[in-house]
Amino acid sequence: MPKYKIKQMHQMNYKEFKEGIQDLPIARQAFVTILFFAGCRVSEALALTSKDINCVGDTIYIQFFRLKGSKPTDPTPLPRADALLWLCEQEGELFGFSRTTAYRIVKGVFPDHYPHYFRQNRFTDVAEKFSLATVVSFSGLNPLSVEYYLTKVDIKKVGKALREELG
């Protein structure tokens, strides 16, 4: 489970994310973008090689090797856009830096966040849009562990749905 002192409770959208990483070198943009879209652990992203990347059409499939007892997942489909295009051009090891450097990269562009924040951010986003079964298959987490990663969301749509139900 994540080791942080204060759990961040707001969601980050792609526009906010993209603005934050725009001044990073392309390899670092790609790394942080993987964290943002895939919700993987830092060590799972750092372990990636070009053999784990399959670029097909407008999608980049990434095969992560899940850690900490998570179940294996199917390759994660990410959009073939922006910094992720860099992944399709690489050979061998993708990211030649340490976990400490990864942490510093994230803190350098998002001082109020930590790398595991993106895991929480993605799992909450997926949970809002899809079923628990999809979240479990996407993350490799045990269904009971999913709750730990979810953050506060806007429940106004529940009220709207209830009003619509009345007719």
As for how many domains the chain has, the answer is 1
Domain contains 3: no
Residue burial 20-40, b: 16+ Cβ < 10 Å; e: rest? bbeebeeebbbbbbbbbbbbb
The confidence score (pLDDT) of residue 143 equals: 87
Q: List, for residues 35-47, the tens digit of each pLDDT value.
A: 999 999 999 999 9
115 contacts 103 by C-beta, under 8 angstroms: yes
Q: Average pLDDT in the 75-90 region?
A: 95
What is the model's pTM? 0.85
The DSSP secondary-structure symbol of 52 reads G
Mean pLDDT of the chain: 89
At residue 160 the predicted structure's pLDDT band, cuts being 50, 70 and 90, is confident
Residue 152 has pLDDT above 70, yes or no: no
Angle at alpha carbon of residue 19, lines to 13 and 21, rounded to 5°: 100
pLDDT of residue 38: 95
Task: Walk across the sheet containing 59-62 and list its strands.
Answer: 53-56, 59-62, 76-79
Q: What mean pLDDT do residues 86-105 have?
A: 96
> What was the pLDDT predicted at 8?
55
Find the CATH number of the domain harbouring 119: 1.10.443.10
Nearby residues of 92 by Cβ (< 8 Å), 6 or more positions away? 49, 50
Residue 26 pLDDT > 50, yes or no? Answer: yes
Nearest-angstrom CA–CA distance, 167 and 163: 7
Would residue 8 count as lying in a domain? Answer: no
* Residue of 40, 102, 46 lying closest to 75 (CA atoms): 40
User: Tens of pLDDT along 126-148?
Assistant: 998 999 999 889 988 888 888 87
Position 6 pLDDT exceeds 80: no
Average pLDDT over residues 116-122: 91
Across 66-85, b (16+ Cβ under 10 Å) vs e yields eeeebeebeebbbebeebbe
Domain that holds residue 105: 14-166
Distance, CA of 116 to CA of 79 (rounded, Å): 21
Ranking 45-59, 94-108, 151-165 by mean pLDDT, the lowest is: 151-165
